[in-house]
Amino acid sequence: MILSRPLGWFWLLAIVLLAWNVIGLVALLFDPVLGLGDVSKLAPEQQALYAARPAIAFYGFVLATVAGTAGAIALLLRRNFALWLFIASAIGLVLQNAWLFADPSRLDASVLGFQALVAGSIVLEIWLTLTARKRRWSR
């Protein structure tokens, strides 16, 4: 049962997180149409990563972005099930990136930095959802 209205910072964070997830969704939609010509414009290290990426990594990307976007919408609607969507997004992120750690030569600062940013956003989403539950801003 919702007892009170969320404070302004809740709405601001929730909107920023939705925008972040929509950017990921757009990247997902363009991923399959990334042609060979576009891949050839990438740095050689990024070309090698793109070529070596297993199918499970793509499916993890799908799970992470779709669940994250749905979770952000559920969070804005103040629904408790947003937590489960964000957990699914975290699982998707693990599936997306686990193969990178099998060969440390694939890891570089830009890849690790960006994936850390994504992981941090998921942690923030989970924290915000739990805070909304605790303060009874969601149902």
Q: Coil, helix or strand for 79?
A: coil
Q: Which residues of the chain have pLDDT under 50?
A: none
- pLDDT the model gives residue 50: 76
Instruction: Report long-range pairs for 103-109 (Cβ below 8 Å, ≥24 apart).
Output: 106/48, 106/49, 106/52, 108/45
What HEC string does 99-124 produce? HHHHCHHHCCHHHHHHHHHHHHHHHH
**Nearest Cα to 25, choosing from 64, 76, 59, 74?**
64
